[in-house]
Structure 1
Amino acid sequence: MSEDTQSPETPESPETPAESGKPVIQYDDFDKLDLRVGKVTEVADHPNADKLLVLKVDLGSETRQIIAGIRGHYSPEALLGRDIVMVTNLAPRKMRGLESNGMLIAAVAQTDEKSDVVVLTTEKPVPPGTPLLVGHERTPLPLAGWRGTRSMSIRKTQQLGCRSSCCGTFWALRVSLTRWGRSPTTQNIWQNLCGAA
């Protein structure tokens, strides 16, 4: 597409790994992250910081407090009740006097005028505490209150379900379920969880 016909609102393509300046890591390094779906149950402005929000997140077996630098991009009301994706095994960290016990996942779309923060959420409800697995299948962890188990894999796609689009990148959640001894097909998973054909 020529520069004359390109939409001015289209974000620039994200940097390649080499351009980002970050080192290449091994798969095992990334696999150390414990990524889970959590439901936001409370949101408030940080009392000591203009750019921070304080979130309480239900992870199924426990509720965590996390601090996120997204004030100005999201109001507390806009986040309340959302199913977000977060890193749950980060070491606790004090942020302007309040402890944060995790980190939500978000993308930043950069345009000439401003940066727009997009929090990664699920398109349809997912039980709090559901783990996300990256790139391969493994034995999923049990979920409290479920007769079966549920696991997730995250992968790049430009077509299917549960996606947050930012900088031209789409992420989809592919869910494999084992419930009451049943193993639904991938197509049924997309239809039931993500509403995709």
Structure 2
Amino acid sequence: MSSNIKENIKMDILSKIDIRVGEIISVEDIEKSDKMVKLIVDFGTFNRTILVGMKKEREKPSEIVGHQALFVVNLAPKKMFGEVSEGMLFDIGYEDGIIPVLAMPEKPVPNGSRAG
């Protein structure tokens, strides 16, 4: 793990990132990719498709169905492997070279609840 801390930012930059709790309602394989899966995530008032590179990190990616996790929901959509990703899973560990785990609320909260 790196002990290097990224450069300081001002609060107004952080406040632009929309991080919300979503419940993972399905995980689908993306056959054209050796690492990507497609998540359908329920944010309470809307659902999003979010592509995640976890195929090589988990023996059974579908084990996360039904779990709540944190997601960035205001990234510009990005097309990959014929699918459009509408956000990003906020996980823990990837940047440090360990097998990532979900960033999850300690107890259930309403889908769509904002972090911050």
* TM-score (normalised: structure 1): 0.54
Q: 2:4 aligns with which of 16, 25, 31?
A: 16
Whole-Å separation in 2 of the counterparts to 1:44 and 1:122: 23
Larger RCO (CA under 8 A, 6+ residues apart): 2
Pick the structure with greater CA Rg.
1
Structure 1 spans left out of the alignment, 5+ residues: 1-11, 134-197
Q: How far off its partner does 1:27 sit?
A: 1.5
**Aligned sequence identity (%):** 35
Asked whether the equivalents of residues 92 and 100 of structure 2 are also in contact (C-alpha less than 8 Å), the reply is yes
Secondary structure in 2 aligned to 1:57?
strand
Secondary structure in 1 aligned to 2:63?
helix
Mapping for residues 128-139 of structure 1, pairs under 5 Å = 128-133=111-116
Q: How far off its partner does 1:23 sit?
A: 4.1
Whole-Å separation in 2 of the counterparts to 1:131 and 1:115: 26
Mapping for residues 52-63 of structure 1, pairs under 5 Å = 52-63=36-47
Question: What is the identity, as a one-letter code, of the residue corresponding to 2:49?
Answer: Q
Secondary structure in 2 aligned to 1:115?
coil
Secondary structure in 2 aligned to 1:132?
coil
Mapping for residues 118-137 of structure 1, pairs under 5 Å = 118-133=101-116
- 1:83 is aligned to 2:68: yes
Mapping for residues 68-147 of structure 1, pairs under 5 Å = 68-74=52-58, 75-108=60-93, 110=96, 115-133=98-116
Moved over 6 A (4+): none
Q: How far off its partner does 1:33 sit?
A: 0.4
Q: Residue 64 of structure 1 aligns with which residue?
A: 48
User: Which range is displaced more, 101-110 or 58-67?
Assistant: 101-110
Counting matched residue pairs gives: 114
Whole-Å separation in 2 of the counterparts to 1:93 and 1:23: 26
Question: What is the identity, as a one-letter code, of the residue corresponding to 1:100?
Answer: S
Instruction: Quote the RMSD (CA, aligned, Å).
Output: 1.7
Question: What is the identity, as a one-letter code, of the residue corresponding to 2:4?
Answer: T
* TM-score (normalised: structure 2): 0.88
Secondary structure in 2 aligned to 1:116?
coil
Whole-Å separation in 1 of the counterparts to 2:49 and 2:12: 27
Q: How far off its partner does 1:32 sit?
A: 0.2
